[in-house]
Structure 1
Amino acid sequence: MSKQVVKAELPDGLMNEAPVTYAVADTSITALQVYHNPDRRPSGDGPWNNEADKVAWVDAETGLGCIMLRQKNGTISGYVGVGPEHPLFGFEADAVPVGVSNTVHGGVTYGKACEVNRFARVAWGKPRKERYTVCHVTRVRWVQEYRTVQTTEDEFHEDLWWLGFDTDHPGDLVPNGRYGEGRKGDIYRDQSFVYSNCIELARKLKSLIDADRDTTAREPLGLPPPSEREEER
C-alpha cells in the first residue's frame, strides 16, 4: 500500500513558497518571506495598496537580516539583526550610541532578541505567529522528504539581536491611529522609505564589526603596551 503524501498548506498569511523578487525603492530584493496581514492593513485606498505587511530579506552588501513589518496602527517599522559577535548585541534601544541611533528615522527605538525564541522560553507564553514576529530571516523552504513547510519557528538554534525603528513620530501619518488620519501635512512613510532606512542601519552596523576587527588586528599579541616596553629598556 503506497503512502499518500499531502502537500502542506503555507502558514497563515505567507505568500511565497520560495524566495521571490520584491520591488521596492526603485530596486528589487530577494525576499525570503512575504506576508500579508489583513488585520493590520489600513482601510481605504492609499500608498499601502500594493505593499506587503511583512518582508524579510538578507541585505546583499552586509549579509545582515532585515525585516519590514506593519504594526497595528498601520505604520511600517524596520529592523536589522546582528549576531553575538556584534559589539551592540544585547543593547537595548536606549543604550545604542547616538551615532548609530541617528542613522534611522526617529532613532533606534527597538532592541530585543528574536521573538520566537524569547516567547518560546517563557513557560506560560506561546510563540507569536510568524507573520507578526521580528525573528530569524530564513528561507521558506520545502522539505521534499515530508512535503512539509518549515519556517523560522523550527529554528531556535541561534539568537539574533534586532535593532529597529518606528515610523509613528510627529509628522508621520498613522493610518490606523486612534485619533483619525492625523494632522494635515503628515507623511506616510512607505516601504521605500523604510527599506532605505533599513539599508543605512545595516551598513552602519556592519561598519562597527569591521572597525572592531581592525582594532583587534592592530593590537600586538602577547606584548605589553609601548610605554611599559620603554620602561623595560
Structure 2
Amino acid sequence: MSRKPSSRSVAGKRLVKAQMPDGLMNARPVSYPVAHATITALQVYHNPERKPSGDGPWNDEADKVSWVDDETGLGCIMLRQTDGTISGYVGVGPAHPLFGYEADAVPVGVSGTVHGGVTYGRECEANRFERRAQGKPRQERYTVCHTTFVRTIQEYRTVRTTEDDFDHEDHWWFGFDTSHPGDLVPKARHDQRHQGDVYRDQGFVYMNCIALARKLRDLGGMTLDDTDEGSGPPLLPSPKDSQERGR
C-alpha cells in the first residue's frame, strides 16, 4: 500500500500547513476603523508585550497596522514601540527624489509635516524568514517594510520565507515618533511623566501618516498612476551624488 504523503510539492517547493507568520491576524485585507475613517488594512498584528497596561485608548488598538493610502498609493505603517507609543511610517520607491535620504537630511518642508518632524529614514528592515537576511533580522510583526498580506497558494496557507509570503517592496521608509516632550509615554517611569502629557493615539498617527504621504507624493511629482516611475527631475541631489562630490 502506498503511504499518504505528509506534504505536497508544487513547483519544486514543499508546502506544509503552518500558522500565519509571527502572529498576523488576517489572511486577506480587512476593514480597520481609525480617525473617523475606515482603511483597508493589509496587515494587522497584536503585540501584547508592547501593549501598555491598564485601561486607556490603546485597549482597542492593534500594535501594527499596514495599508496603502488610497490617494497617494504609498504604503503606510503604524507600529507600537517598546515604550508603548506609536510611530508612523511612509515608504517611497527608488524613483522618488528622497529615496536613500536619512532622517536628518529630509527637507524641513517635508519633515515639518509630521509631529516632531521626521526621525526615521531607512531601507526595508530584514525579516527573520528572509533567505539572505543581513544585519539583525526581526520578526515581521515588528518590521518596517511590508504593507502586503499573506498569499494563499492553492488550498494551503504556508509560511516559508519572507520572499514567498510577502511581495518584497524596494522602499525607503520615512517615519516619526510620538515620544516628544508633551507626549504621554505609557511605559515611562512615573517620575518621567508630566501633568498634561497627551497620548498620541492611532487616529493622531494615521492623520500624520497620510499628511506625510501627500507631501512625499507632491515632492516626487507623482500621481496614483505613476508612483512607481515618478516624474520630473530630482529636487535635491541624491546621497550618492553628494558623497561622490565630496571626495
1:153 Cα deviation (Å)? 5.4
> Which one has a bigger Cα radius of gyration?
1
Q: Is 1:59–1:66's contact at 8 Å kept on the other side of the alignment? A: yes
- The answer for unaligned runs of 5 or more in structure 2 is 8-15, 223-229, 235-247
Task: Please state whether the residue corresponding to 1:112 is helix, strand or coil.
Answer: strand
Aligned to 2:171: 160
Residue type of the alignment partner of 2:39 = I
- The structural deviation recorded for 1:91 is 0.4
When normalised by structure 2's length, the TM-score is: 0.79
Residue 167 and residue 112 in structure 1: after superposition, are their counterparts in 2 closer, same or farther (change >3 A)? same
Match of 2:154 in 1: 144
Residues 60-96 of structure 1: CA deviation (Å, up to 9, x unaligned): 1111000000000000000000010000000000000
Instruction: Write out per-residue CA displacement over residues 178-217 of structure 1, whole angstroms, 9 at most, x where no aligned residue.
Output: 345711110000000000000000000001121772569x
Query: Please, what is the CA RMSD of the aligned residues?
Result: 2.4
- 1:189-200 to structure 2, matched below 5 A, reads 189-200=200-211
Displacement of 1:149 after TM fit?
A: 4.1
Superposed CA deviations along residues 136-173 of structure 1, whole A, max 9, x for unmatched, are 21122212265314774545854210000000000000
Please list every run of 5 or more consecutive structure 1 residues that lacks an aligned counterpart in the other structure: 217-233
How far apart are the structure 2 equivalents of 1:213 and 1:12? 38
Residues 1:15 and 1:146: Cα distance change in structure 2 (over 3 Å): closer
Does residue 30 of the first structure (1) align with residue 48 of the second (2)? Answer: no
1:18 paired with 2:28, answer yes
1:213-224 to 2 correspondence within 5 Å? 213-214=231-232
Moved more, 143-152 or 68-77: 143-152
The one-letter code sitting in structure 1 at the alignment partner of 2:197 is D
Distance 2:115 2:161 in 1: 30
Identity %: 70
Write the letter of the residue equivalent to 1:138: T
Give TM-score scaled by structure 1 length: 0.83
Once residues 72 and 170 of structure 1 are traced to their aligned partners in structure 2, the CA distance between those partners, rounded to angstroms, is 17
Output the CA distance in 1 between the equivalents of 2:101 and 2:160. Answer: 30
Distance, in Å, in 2 between the alignment partners of 1:70 and 1:182 is: 19
The 1-side partners of 2:62 and 2:216 are apart by 26
- Counterpart selection for 1:86 from 85, 96, 102: 96
Quick one: distance in 2 between partners of 1:97 and 1:139?
32
Question: Structure 1 residue 14: deviation in Å?
Answer: 1.4
Aligned position for 1:230: none
